[in-house]
């Protein structure tokens, strides 16, 4: 990496490079997980001989939360193997955890830690909900962000293994490609779902950061007031420099008397 690339961005600071790299991995890995979870529904529906166009029209018209319900529902209706239904249900719940982590982190705003923050910690802030003006806070050490990225990647692998098992389950072993036979033998073990990533209210180590936001707003108001005073002072200066009508008349009269003296 060249010095120019390493020093980008120069004119603003979005946060520590290592932390931002981990956030990028979270975002791009979750995109892979989204595609993987969709395949569970689409493949199950095709097995029931549903028209592909109708499958796509229905499934992709749903919002994210309803798609997860659709996955659980189609397996609950058509799948007879309880172990498969249990494994898929676990995968759906695990995906919901991953999605929450991704949304909380990628939809948050950087909260500069110049007042009261700890070195090596990334502070983020986000509204508690779309309907709430109140903000919540999150703090991440690099190890925590990388842990979340690794857990999302684990979900991608789990989803792929479930899909492979469903694709080859019940087929004679000699008809399954050699490299795929390991996935056709047993379902992968269910994943442990970590603790939900939640926004925090202002805590002791966030007090300085909370006051920073108030100071930032005060600074914005101060700059606005300074700009208004500057424009006002410029207007006054223009008025001072502009001769009054009375002075203009006096000057013209003097010039007139000079050019046309009284006889």
Strand partners, 234: none
Identify which has the larger pLDDT, 226 or 54. 54
pTM: 0.74
- Express each pLDDT in 215-263 by its tens digit: 455 555 555 666 666 665 555 555 555 555 554 454 444 445 444 444 4
Q: What percent of the chain has pLDDT over 90?
A: 49
Identify which has the larger pLDDT, 90 or 12. 90
Mean pLDDT of the chain: 82
- Express each pLDDT in 171-208 by its tens digit: 888 888 888 888 888 899 999 999 999 888 764 455 55
Instruction: Report pLDDT for 47.
Output: 92
Given a contact cutoff of 8 angstroms between Cβ atoms, the answer to whether 19 and 140 are in contact is yes
What's the CA gap between 234 and 252, in Å, rounded? 28
Helical packing angle, 82-106 and 64-78, nearest 10°: 170
Mean pLDDT of the 60-74 span:
96
Helices (H) and strands (E) in the chain, counts: 9, 3
């Amino acid at each position: 990496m060249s010095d120019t690339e390493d020093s980008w961005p120069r004119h603003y600071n979005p946060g520590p490079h290592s932390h931002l790299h981990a956030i990028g991995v979270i975002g791009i890995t979750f995109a892979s997980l989204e595609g993987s979870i969709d395949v569970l529904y689409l493949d199950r529906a095709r097995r029931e001989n549903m028209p592909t166009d109708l499958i796509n029209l229905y499934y992709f018209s749903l919002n994210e939360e309803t798609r997860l319900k659709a996955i659980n529902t189609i397996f609950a209706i058509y799948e007879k193997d309880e172990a498969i239904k249990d494994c898929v249900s676990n995968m759906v719940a695990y995906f919901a955890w991953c999605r929450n982590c991704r949304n909380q982190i990628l939809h948050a705003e950087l909260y500069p830690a110049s007042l009261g923050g700890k070195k090596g910690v990334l502070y983020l802030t986000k509204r508690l909900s779309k309907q709430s003006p109140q903000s919540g806070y999150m703090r991440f050490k690099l190890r925590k962000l990388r842990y979340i990225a690794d857990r999302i990647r684990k979900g991608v692998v789990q989803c792929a293994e479930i899909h492979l098992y469903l694709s080859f389950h019940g087929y004679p072993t000699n008809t399954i490609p050699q490299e795929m036979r390991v996935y056709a033998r047993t379902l992968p073990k269910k994943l442990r779902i970590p603790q939900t990533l939640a926004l925090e209210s202002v805590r002791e180590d966030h007090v300085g950061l909370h006051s920073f936001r108030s100071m930032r707003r005060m600074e914005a108001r101060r700059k606005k007031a300074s700009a208004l005073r500057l424009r006002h002072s410029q207007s006054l200066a223009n008025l001072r420099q502009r001769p009054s009508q009375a002075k203009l008349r006096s000057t013209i009269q003097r010039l007139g008397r000079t050019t046309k003296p009284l006889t």
